């Protein structure tokens, strides 16, 4: 059956710096996100307040001090930090901020920016990003001290050159309502620039009503092939071979691996004992989700490939997000 479909392991993209930067735009799901089509919930006034403050920031206006900001917000504020649980509209508001802003701008996940630094080197990435007036960072992550410190340095140095920022937290579903702790961690980690951010708290329930744990039916190889055959442009790879290839490809290129692929088929999925391989697969899932590329597998339920002790460990937020996204992509 492999002759019928593309194989991701046969792809070795070599994007230019210009291409990597061109990909720093909101994912397809938020291509048309605006403040006008953001619908705040009447029971959670912080949503409307956050939307108003984010729009003011996007328009270049000074946000006012209030219930959802921490400290006075001055005209030289570096930016805003949208803090809250899953499904309360943080990414929508971040994308709306991007679209509303008039000037050179970039939008990417935290992982997209750390991957860019890894691909280009810190100095080259900093110079490339210094050309932007606004940088939007979705799901600022605090579970890897090394990455967090690199991003802290990047924000410090770009901020000194006049770049503005908008960021969101990555509070997991199990911590819904505890987003302020993520904000405090964020503030502590970014040291000297923390007081220059306006923290916008967004309360609410997950409007997507996605469960914290999801389950997908495991499929046979024949069922997987039937699903792939129902639409052209799919890929089909053995799980271990795909993981081995992901280890050789820089995460900044995972999106290009999926370019032109309509759906991803994975054969013989199994539990991942190697956490490094598991985290690479998490990054791959993130890219597939951003590009809205469905994923299905034979073997075990894809949401069960992560070991319970890994999910409960220091990378819990990454794993829970990946499980949730696999549920969305495999539905």
Nearest CA among 139, 182, 183 for reference residue 290? 139
* 267 three-state secondary structure: strand
Per-block mean pLDDT, blocks of 10 residues, the chain (331 long) = 76 90 92 95 93 94 45 62 84 97 95 90 97 94 77 90 89 44 61 71 69 64 93 95 96 91 96 96 93 94 95 88 88 52
Task: Count other C-beta atoms under 10 Å from residue 32's C-beta.
Answer: 11
Domain 32-202 matching CATH 3.40.50.300: the answer reads yes
**The pLDDT of residue 265:** 95
What one-character-per-residue DSSP string does 161-190 give?
A: TT-EEEEE----GGGTT-HHHHHHHHHHHT
Give the span between the Cα atoms of 6 and 49, in whole angstroms.
Answer: 47
**How would you label 182-203 residue by residue, b for 16+ Cβ within 10 Å and e otherwise?**
bbeebbeebeebbebbbbbbbb
**The pLDDT of residue 269:** 96
pLDDT in tens, 283-320: 999 999 989 999 999 999 999 999 999 999 888 888 98
C-alpha separations of 94 from 8, 68, 135, 199 in Å: 31, 16, 10, 13
Q: Which residues pair with 202 in a beta bridge?
A: 84
Question: Backbone dihedral region of 183: left (phi > 0), alpha (psi from -120 to 50 degrees) or beta?
Answer: alpha
**The pLDDT of residue 3:** 45
**The pLDDT of residue 226:** 93
Task: Count other C-beta atoms under 10 Å from residue 142's C-beta.
Answer: 18
Q: How many CA atoms lie within 13 A of 303 on its CB side?
A: 18
Q: Do 163 and 193 touch, CB atoms closer than 8 A?
A: no
User: pTM for the full model?
Assistant: 0.78
Type and span of the H or E element at 156: helix 145-159
Residues of the chain with CATH 3.40.50.300: 32-202
State phi, psi for 278 to the nearest 5 degrees. Answer: -65, -40
State phi, psi for 136 to the nearest 5 degrees. Answer: -105, 125
Give the span between the Cα atoms of 13 and 260, in whole angstroms.
Answer: 13
- Only one residue has tokens 């989700």, namely 289
* 235 three-state secondary structure: strand
**The pLDDT of residue 193:** 58
The two three-digit tokens of residue 185, written as one number: 């961690």
Nearest CA among 132, 121, 86, 329 for reference residue 216? 329
**The pLDDT of residue 113:** 94
CA 1-291-209 angle, 5° bins: 105
């Amino acid at each position: 059956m492999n002759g019928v479909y593309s194989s991701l392991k046969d792809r070795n993209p070599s994007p230019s710096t210009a291409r990597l930067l061109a990909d720093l735009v909101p994912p397809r799901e938020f291509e048309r996100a605006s403040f006008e089509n953001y619908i705040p919930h009447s029971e959670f006034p912080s949503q409307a307040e956050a939307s108003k403050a984010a729009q003011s920031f996007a328009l270049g206006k000074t946000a006012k001090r209030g219930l959802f900001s921490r400290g006075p917000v001055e005209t030289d504020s570096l930016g805003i930090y949208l803090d809250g649980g899953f499904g309360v509209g943080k990414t929508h508001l971040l994308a709306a901020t991007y679209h509303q802003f008039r000037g050179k701008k970039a939008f990417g996940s935290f992982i997209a920016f750390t991957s860019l630094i890894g691909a280009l080197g810190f100095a080259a990435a900093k110079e490339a990003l210094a050309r932007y007036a606004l940088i939007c960072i979705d799901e600022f992550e605090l579970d890897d001290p090394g990455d967090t410190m690199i991003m802290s340095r990047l924000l410090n140095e770009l901020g000194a050159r006049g770049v503005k920022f908008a960021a969101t937290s990555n509070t997991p579903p199990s911590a819904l309502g505890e987003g302020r702790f993520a904000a405090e961690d964020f503030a502590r980690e970014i040291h000297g620039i923390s007081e220059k951010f306006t923290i916008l708290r967004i309360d609410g329930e997950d409007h997507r009503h996605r469960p914290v744990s999801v389950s997908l039916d495991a499929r046979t190889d024949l069922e997987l092939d039937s699903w792939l055959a129902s639409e052209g442009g799919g890929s089909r790879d053995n799980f271990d071979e795909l993981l081995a290839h992901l280890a050789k490809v820089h995460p900044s290129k995972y999106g290009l691996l999926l370019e032109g692929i309509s759906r991803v088929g994975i054969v013989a999925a199994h539990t991942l004992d190697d956490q490094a391989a598991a985290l690479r697969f998490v990054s791959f899932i993130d890219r597939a989700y951003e590009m809205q590329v469905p994923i299905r597998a034979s073997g075990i339920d894809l949401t069960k490939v992560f070991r319970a002790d890994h999910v409960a460990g220091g990378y819990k937020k990454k794993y829970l997000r990946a499980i949730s996204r696999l549920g969305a992509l495999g539905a």
